[in-house]
Copies of this chain bind each other. A is one copy, B any other.
Amino acid sequence: MQTTLDSIKSYLLQLQQSICDALEELDGTAKFIDDQWHREEGGGGLSKVIQNGAVFEKGGVNFSHVHGKLPEILKSETRTADYFHATGVSIVIHPVNPFVPIIHMNVRYFCMSENAESAIIDEWFGGGIDVSPAYPNITDTLHLHTNLKAACDKFNDTFYAEFKTWCDTYFTIRHRNEMRGVGGIFYDHLRPKDSEHKEHLFEFMQEIGNSFIPIYKEIVNNNMHKTYTERNKEWQFIRRGRYAEFNLVYDRGTHFGLKTNGRIESILMSLPPHAEWKYNFIPEKDSEEEKAMEFFQPISWF
């Protein structure tokens, strides 16, 4: 089977729907609201947003397919490409309960050509899943990494190690020398060598996309009924502050979107519903919060 932009888009739309269905079932009360948008220069997207649920305080499952003239900042001197397509699904979920982690997923495909009708000059797949708990635990973290490793191992022995390290590096809040969570995988610029390889990389995209619900559902179920205190909630707000810091200072996707006149609300749906910054907050010695900090460093889980 030939992998085309259409086949990728059709998978992504179906993935978006199935993830929203599963999250609504997990939440039990709130429903996703559709927000369709168009991009003046070409394409658009369908944002699906959930707010004020029993389990999920704020979340977005966004599909987009944008295309048009290649933005200057993506142009290369050695290539004649002047047209691009970018399509993907991006997810960020901020749960109510401080023991349920934030999850982020993105799977995307990018291609460039000389003009709207001409053949592809360059193309690649990118994506990843990573988890940011306020209170990490070994069980959930191993569940995450075991599932991601299994997904990667089906495709390439080197993928997990490589993409796990990439994720640890990428999602580091450099000015604090800490990761925003417990990592996961992150990959980019996976370029197909031929049509068979393209099919293979598209299957990898599907493998990662399809692993989202099995990974998150178990973690949500493990933690959503835990009782929590004001202090737990405060720590969640502080970690959400760190999440906002990372996204606004370092995230390339966020900066790319803000600088290329992307759709602001879809880009910034990743920001937490509520965040806090206290001056020089340091967790108490031997507290659960201090233990949490030990997880926010690159750790070999296997």
Contacts and interface: CB of A to CB of B under 8 A. Distances in A.
Contacts of A279: 49, 51, 58, 60, 265, 269
Interface stretch (A160-168, A202-210, A242-250): A242-250
How big is chain A's contact interface, by range? Answer: 20 to 34
A95 interface: no
Contact of A274 (B51, B60, B244, B276): B276
B249 A244 contact: no
A64 to B, nearest CB: 15
Interface of A: 35, 49, 51, 58, 60, 174-176, 237, 241, 244-245, 248-249, 255, 258, 264-265, 267-269, 271-280
Q: Copy number of this protein in the oligomer?
A: 2
A177 to B, nearest CB: 10
Contact of A264 (B176, B241, B269): B176
A60 B49 CA distance: 36
Nearest to A249: B248
A258 B175 contact: yes
29 contacts: A35-B280, A49-B279, A49-B280, A51-B278, A51-B279, A58-B277, A58-B278, A58-B279, A60-B279, A174-B258, A175-B258, A175-B264, A175-B267, A176-B264, A244-B248, A244-B275, A245-B268, A248-B249, A249-B249, A249-B255, A249-B258, A265-B279, A265-B280, A271-B277, A273-B276, A273-B278, A274-B274, A274-B276, A275-B275
